[in-house]
């Protein structure tokens, strides 16, 4: 009965145009995540099989996040100046090319510098996505008159991502075990090429007009200045952003290190299916977490309370992964960690979007992603070195400690949620559409 009421409510708040926007968003999320997740369960094993040490493998990942740091703002400006559709298309194309380069280097046993350069290109590809897709969705929903809660759309995106990740991660592990570690990368490149074609046909910039001025440098400066005003100079947004380097930076390592760590606990370094199962468990948790998001308001009245609670619980979960080196215990902790992550992201997205004007949306969201990537640049090689020098168990203990550094910022974010300009965004029960036009 409750499910039927929820469906009827969704039909009332979503007209045909808004429904088409949501369908396009979910379709692109599905194929984009499917392509990415084919290698998520085996990427660390792939790098180690290419002859890299733990330090080098996670340093390569750090170069990927460094690429995201370098290009987040420029690609966000591209999205805000020339269009979110163009940015997405450039991302799909860049990722397809750099994925094929990864495969070629694996075959050639390329030196570390080759992996570093290509990892930066991968980071560039993802920065074209970050901010642009989210900004495109929020502006398009506003343009088409969507009246519902946008975090419910983000939650559906989490569910679709989870389904795609579940399929891709299991499929990638099984394909690698049946063939070799390189085949999932070939398939990933093909799916990314197909995603490019779908985005070219389906995406249109609604509620956003690309800038066509004759002074692009001046336009870039104006966007960056406004983005800082609505980002780091805006306390409700600032504290959420400053928590990201610790939480997201550790999250990248924690996810990818699970592959060799669980194989070590399992006792078979060649059980690639187990490595794929790791990502599948996280994917399943994402699906469940996305389903739970519409019900968060029953237990929490403020979004910043949700953020603070999940950060504290995630810190505890990561620490326990290091304290209890048992395969089945770690599996349970991975499920909990995935649920926390999936329930947090839509709430965080809705909160930040409510505080950003449309004209600077992609750039501010890209800067937010930059903060996350910046944490990954530092934490991944440090924690990878800890795994080399001591053990994966020790690296997870350190991960919990670093993740916990986000707690003070989450507390400050909750206090900032009391400000007049943040109360509406922070209140779950009274919140409707976070997509607000620039004033």
Mean pLDDT by 10 residues, the chain (439 residues): 47 72 91 88 83 82 80 74 86 92 88 90 85 82 81 81 83 85 92 93 82 58 66 78 84 81 80 68 75 71 85 93 90 87 79 74 72 76 84 90 90 79 65 40
**Tokens for 330?**
């770690």
Between the alpha carbon of residue 111 and those of residues 50, 116, 187, 357, the distances in Å are: 9, 9, 24, 45
pLDDT of residue 216: 55
The H or E element containing residue 112 is: helix 112-129
Q: How far apart are CA 323 and CA 338, in angstroms?
A: 19
Of the candidates 185, 184, 190, 47, the one whose C-alpha atom is nearest the C-alpha of residue 116 is: 47
Of the candidates 219, 251, 221, 226, the one whose C-alpha atom is nearest the C-alpha of residue 371 is: 251
Residues in the chain: 439
The neighbour count for residue 147, using CB atoms within 10 Å, is 12
Q: How far apart are the first and last CA of the chain?
A: 41
Report DSSP state, residue 384. H
pLDDT of residue 96: 92
Residues linked to residue 302 through DSSP beta bridges, in sequence order: 427
Q: Is the dihedral of CA 285, 288, 294, 296 positive or negative?
A: negative
pLDDT of residue 439: 34
Phi and psi for 427 in degrees, rounded to 5?
-85, 110
214 three-state secondary structure:
coil
DSSP string computed for 157-196: HHHHHHHHHHHHHHHHHHHHHHS-TTHHHHHHHHHHHHHH
Q: How far apart are CA 146 and CA 9, in angstroms?
A: 12
**pTM > 0.85: yes or no:** no
428 three-state secondary structure:
coil
pLDDT of residue 279: 66
pLDDT of residue 109: 79
DSSP string computed for 313-362: HHHHHHHHHHH---HHHHHHHHHHHHHHHHHHHHHHHHHHHTTS-GGGHH
302 three-state secondary structure:
strand
pLDDT of residue 407: 92
pLDDT of residue 421: 65
Phi and psi for 278 in degrees, rounded to 5?
-55, -55
pLDDT of residue 2: 47
295 three-state secondary structure:
helix
């Amino acid at each position: 009965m409750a499910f039927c009421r929820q469906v009827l409510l969704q039909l009332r708040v979503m007209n045909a145009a808004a429904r088409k926007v949501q369908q396009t968003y979910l379709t692109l999320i599905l194929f984009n995540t499917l392509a990415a997740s084919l290698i998520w369960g085996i990427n660390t094993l792939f790098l180690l099989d290419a002859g890299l040490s733990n330090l080098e493998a996670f340093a390569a990942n750090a170069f990927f996040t460094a690429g995201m740091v370098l290009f987040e703002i420029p690609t966000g400006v591209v999205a805000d100046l020339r269009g979110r559709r163009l940015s997405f298309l450039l991302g799909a194309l860049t990722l397809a090319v750099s994925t094929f380069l990864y495969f070629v280097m694996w075959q050639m046993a390329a030196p570390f510098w080759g992996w570093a350069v290509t990892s930066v290109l991968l980071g560039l590809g993802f920065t074209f996505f970050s901010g642009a897709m989210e900004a495109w969705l929020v502006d398009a929903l506003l343009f088409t008159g969507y009246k519902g809660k946008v975090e419910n759309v983000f939650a559906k995106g989490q569910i679709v991502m989870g389904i795609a990740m579940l399929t891709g991660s299991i499929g990638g592990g099984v394909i690698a075990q049946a063939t070799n570690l390189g085949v999932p990368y070939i398939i990933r490149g093909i799916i990314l090429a197909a995603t490019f074609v779908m985005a070219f046909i389906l995406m249109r910039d609604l509620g956003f007009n690309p800038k066509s001025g004759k002074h692009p440098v001046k336009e870039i400066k104006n966007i960056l200045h406004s983005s800082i005003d609505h980002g780091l100079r805006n306390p409700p947004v600032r504290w959420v952003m400053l928590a990201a380097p610790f939480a997201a930076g550790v999250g990248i390592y924690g996810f990818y290190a699970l592959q060799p760590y669980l194989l070590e606990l399992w006792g078979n370094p060649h059980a690639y299916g187990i490595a794929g199962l790791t990502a599948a468990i996280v994917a399943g948790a994402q699906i469940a977490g996305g389903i739970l998001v519409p019900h968060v308001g029953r237990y929490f009245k403020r979004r910043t309370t949700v953020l603070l609670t999940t950060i504290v619980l995630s810190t505890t979960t990561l620490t326990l992964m290091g304290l209890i080196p048992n395969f089945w215990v770690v599996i349970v902790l991975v499920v909990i960690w995935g649920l926390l992550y999936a329930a947090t992201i839509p709430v965080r997205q809705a909160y930040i979007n409510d505080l950003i004007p449309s004209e600077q949306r992609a750039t501010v969201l890209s800067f937010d992603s930059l903060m996350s990537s910046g944490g990954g640049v530092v934490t991944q090689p440090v924690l990878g070195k800890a795994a080399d020098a001591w053990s994966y168990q020790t690296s997870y203990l350190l991960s919990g400690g670093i993740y916990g550094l986000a707690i003070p910022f989450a507390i400050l974010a909750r206090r900032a949620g009391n400000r007049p300009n943040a109360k509406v965004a922070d209140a779950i029960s009274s919140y409707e559409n976070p997509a607000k036009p620039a004033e």
